[in-house]
Structure 1
Amino acid sequence: MGIRSLFGFSRTRDMPTNTAGSGYSFLFGRTTSGKPVNERTAMQTTAVYACVRILSETLASLPLHVYAYKDSGGKELVYSHPLYNILHDEPNPEMTSFVFRETMMSHLLIWGNAYAQIIRNGSGRVLGLYPLLPDKMDVERDDKGRLYYIYARQSNENPNFKRHGDIVLQQEDVLHIPGLGFDGLVGYSPIAMAKNAVGITLACEEYGASFFANGANPGGVLEHPGVLKDPSKVRESWNAVYQGANNAHKVAVLEEGMKYQQIGIPPEEAQFLETRKFQINEIARLYRIPPHMVGDLEKSSFSNIEQQSLEFVKYTLDPWVIRWEQSLQKALLLSGEKGKYFIKLNVDGLLRGDYESRMNGYATGRQNGWLSSNDIREMEDMNPIPEEEGGNQYLINGNMCKLKDAGLFAGKQSEKQEEPQQLNGKRGKR
């Protein structure tokens, strides 16, 4: 995906020893609707902007932590790990974690790839992360089959680059999060893949703007019973008085027997509004966004909107979260750390129901012994109860027992009743 082979056929990459670049087979550019589509014109449509914003802001707002595997099982937060502050708070001195992830996610949704330069110290530890523009990046292989990146710097977006032109970056110096692609190395741009759908949306918006600019009236012709010496003068005088939204509904005065004949198709007959509405759903389908999240509430109700929101987390957000987590672990953890630590984006907060449902769920977990008071307080973002006060105790109802122990108490009681009878029988024999 680079400045030289952006979305065009370049060299093939069938063998890992090839020196092939990031080849795309789908181009940004003109569509069948006649509207040019690229990353910037696409973002001018409200549907694309809304979908990109929803996914970018949602992923950027998720808690991002570094965990360590415990020897006894489970996990624990590792605040002291060098990556924790970088990922959770400040990837570089110019950006917060939210802004960094929002920027990277928007690159991923528009171009299909997200790149960031990794700044390391002498021991390989990560010191900072700086986003790189995807449309300036090429992915190549050297003669030994190892990946490397070529960044075409033409502006001052990255303070670590001191010169302009092509800059070669090794694989360990680049965090690359690829989207859906056919080779597993470089992702395809969703906008480039669906450029015709985006082009129709742009054409509909332009038609609507032109419709209102012309006084919200379709085109027509002025008929004159005679021969006009200067038709352009008549047309210009008509437009000067009646064209434009500010001149709509003015009373037209026709002279010399002229008649106005409408020849355009009224918007209600052309189903202009229905077309625009369908295109919004088309873009939402592209990014797998529930329609109600981009303002289409036709098929949403109070009873199903919560379920649609949960499905958004499960089917839309989760794949992106996993893609992020695995890419971060692969690029940022040292080889000796990958069996000890892992990076996690927490989506539990998005899956929480309403207050009453949460309290009922906590009560069930508490009464059945698989949630302690501190477990519940942690999920509700509350301070823990001290351990000496029982905050970490797991309780269970006293009337519950193991299946194999069912009837054990009754059996012991019958044994106690049989013992005196046996003693009495022995005494009688004496």
Structure 2
Amino acid sequence: MSPDDYRRASGYRRSEGEQRSGGNPLENPGIPISASYEEFLRFFGQLDTTTQLPPVTIESAMEVPAVLSAVAFLSRALASLPLHAYRRGEDKPLDGDFEMLLNEAPNGEWTSFGWRQYIWQQVFMGGRGPTYIERAGTKAVALWPMDPNLTTVFRRGGKRFYRFGGEEYPATDVIDVPFMLKANQLDVVSPIYKGRKAIGLALAMNNFAGTFFGSGGVPPLALQGPLPAGPEAFKRAQEQIQRAIDMARKNGAPFFGMPPGHELKSIGVDPDKGQMTAARLFQLQEIARLYQLPPVFLQDLTNNTFTNAEQQDLQLIKHTLLHWSTAFEQECSLKIFGQRSRARQIRHDFTAAIKGDLKSWFEAIARAIQTAQLTPNEARRLNNRPPAENGDKLYIQGATVPLGTQPLMKAPKNGDEGDGDGTA
């Protein structure tokens, strides 16, 4: 695929009647023209009579700060990990085309960070972010991210294919790490679609809070007392009372006058009595569960201490980033090098992610050198420093020796103090 082909493909719209697999049900579900009225209502979230939550789409879900933060944080965190190709059993990355392709620029239009951030954003929103591998013969020469909303996944002869921009690509030429696959191995699970009830509740609370505070904190009110006769008279009275409320709010007055024998009483639920603050905090935690993120990374420091915040940092790497990075590494290794190629593999470098504070990092490096786990040059490479002369040898502290090989001290001479056992 040339850059011109890629640009044309990005503006491609699927033909009428084409069946999509692996698409995003929130954005482009492909409802057939013959769909019933109930199906249309169900799609737009109006058929479920048990709830009146706002309809959730990807765009509306991203208006919830916790969802936006989760997608942005995870996509940036995974995109910022250095990605290298290695020979199996070696720790030094392969230089040349593979280094440029994976860690610098996958093609002439994208940086490596931008490419990976884009595909991870699609994964954590719609559930899929495929990338086409352009080859010269069998060698990968460019990687092109594909718009998942314009991509159709299907099977032919038992094999999986991707249709994008009017072209069809075999699965062996497409890097695809879905959020979760459905049973047919074509469609994907969108985290936003599956979490739409929790996100819809967060949207509803956002809307309520905006309406409540947008009206100056005045809740819905009911007028009690003798009501004017006739609809027109009642409408005028309603307008006069509303005008009095607006004027008081505008002038910062603490009260406004009411006609004799009348009073206003609030109706609905008081936000404080409805525990709105606690409910919004709970929805943040629900969204954190949706993405398997420790709440601290969505800026929820409610129950945090210095100790458990550090543990959440470790939890993020071990139980979230490591899982996704492993899936991406294996998918890239398989699709770029092929099933039978076992000499090379693609891996993320987590060194920067686990550095911690500078003092602890350098103490750990020094300890690794002193215990013959790293050579000085390997340690320098971890800090992006050039190799030093004679820095490729392993060292170990001389004070640590096998038991029984320590040197014996001479017996004391006459007049010298000793403990009577022949040693000083």
- Fold conserved between structures, TM > 0.5: yes
- Is 2:147 the partner of 1:147? no
> How far does residue 259 in structure 1 lie from its aligned partner after superposition?
1.7
Structure 1 SS opposite 2:306: coil
- Is 2:282 the partner of 1:269? no
The two structures, once aligned, show a CA RMSD in angstroms of 2.8
What are the superposed Cα offsets for residues 320-376 of structure 1, whole Å, 9 maximum, x if unpaired?
A: 10111111112122456x211111111121112322322332232222222222222
Aligned length: 370
The match for 1:115 is 130
Correspondence list, 1:109-258, <5 A: 109-121=124-136, 123-142=137-156, 144-151=157-164, 161=165, 167-183=167-183, 184-229=185-230, 230=232, 231-243=234-246, 247=250, 250=253, 251-258=255-262
- Is 2:376 the partner of 1:373? yes
The match for 1:280 is 284
Unaligned runs of 5+ in 2: 1-17, 30-41, 411-424
The match for 1:78 is 94
> How far does residue 249 in structure 1 lie from its aligned partner after superposition?
5.3
> How far does residue 89 in structure 1 lie from its aligned partner after superposition?
1.3
- Is 2:314 the partner of 1:298? no
How far apart, in 1, do the equivalents of 2:43 and 2:227 lie? 51
Q: Which runs of 4+ in 1 moved over 6 A?
A: none
Structure 2 SS opposite 1:178: coil
- Is 2:107 the partner of 1:104? no
Alignment check: 8 A CA contact 1:140 1:147 kept = yes
> How far does residue 279 in structure 1 lie from its aligned partner after superposition?
0.4
- Is 2:343 the partner of 1:340? yes
Matched-pair identity in %? 28
TM-score, structure 2 as length reference = 0.79
The match for 1:91 is 106
> How far does residue 274 in structure 1 lie from its aligned partner after superposition?
0.9
Sort the Cα spacing of 1:363 and 1:130 in 2 relative to 1 into closer, same or farther, 3 A: closer
Alignment check: 8 A CA contact 2:154 2:186 kept = no
Residue 142 of structure 2 aligns to which amino acid in structure 1?
G
Residue 278 of structure 2 aligns to which amino acid in structure 1?
E
Correspondence list, 1:310-325, <5 A: 310-325=314-329
Alignment check: 8 A CA contact 1:115 1:174 kept = yes
> How far does residue 94 in structure 1 lie from its aligned partner after superposition?
2.0
What are the superposed Cα offsets for residues 68-98 of structure 1, whole Å, 9 maximum, x if unpaired?
A: 23xxx43431112x33212111122222111
Structure 2 SS opposite 1:76: coil
Correspondence list, 1:47-66, <5 A: 47-66=66-85
The match for 2:388 is 385
Structure 1 SS opposite 2:304: coil
Alignment check: 8 A CA contact 1:215 1:242 kept = no
Sort the Cα spacing of 1:335 and 1:227 in 2 relative to 1 into closer, same or farther, 3 A: closer
The match for 1:428 is none
> How far does residue 100 in structure 1 lie from its aligned partner after superposition?
0.7
What are the superposed Cα offsets for residues 388-418 of structure 1, whole Å, 9 maximum, x if unpaired?
A: xx31222222233345xx24866xx9xxxxx
Structure 2 SS opposite 1:36: coil
Alignment check: 8 A CA contact 1:215 1:245 kept = no
Sort the Cα spacing of 1:362 and 1:171 in 2 relative to 1 into closer, same or farther, 3 A: closer
How far apart, in 1, do the equivalents of 2:320 and 2:43 lie? 25
Sort the Cα spacing of 1:128 and 1:29 in 2 relative to 1 into closer, same or farther, 3 A: farther
How far apart, in 1, do the equivalents of 2:369 and 2:252 lie? 69
Alignment check: 8 A CA contact 1:112 1:190 kept = yes
How far apart, in 1, do the equivalents of 2:368 and 2:173 lie? 45
- Is 2:65 the partner of 1:46? yes
TM-score, structure 1 as length reference = 0.78
Alignment check: 8 A CA contact 1:215 1:244 kept = no
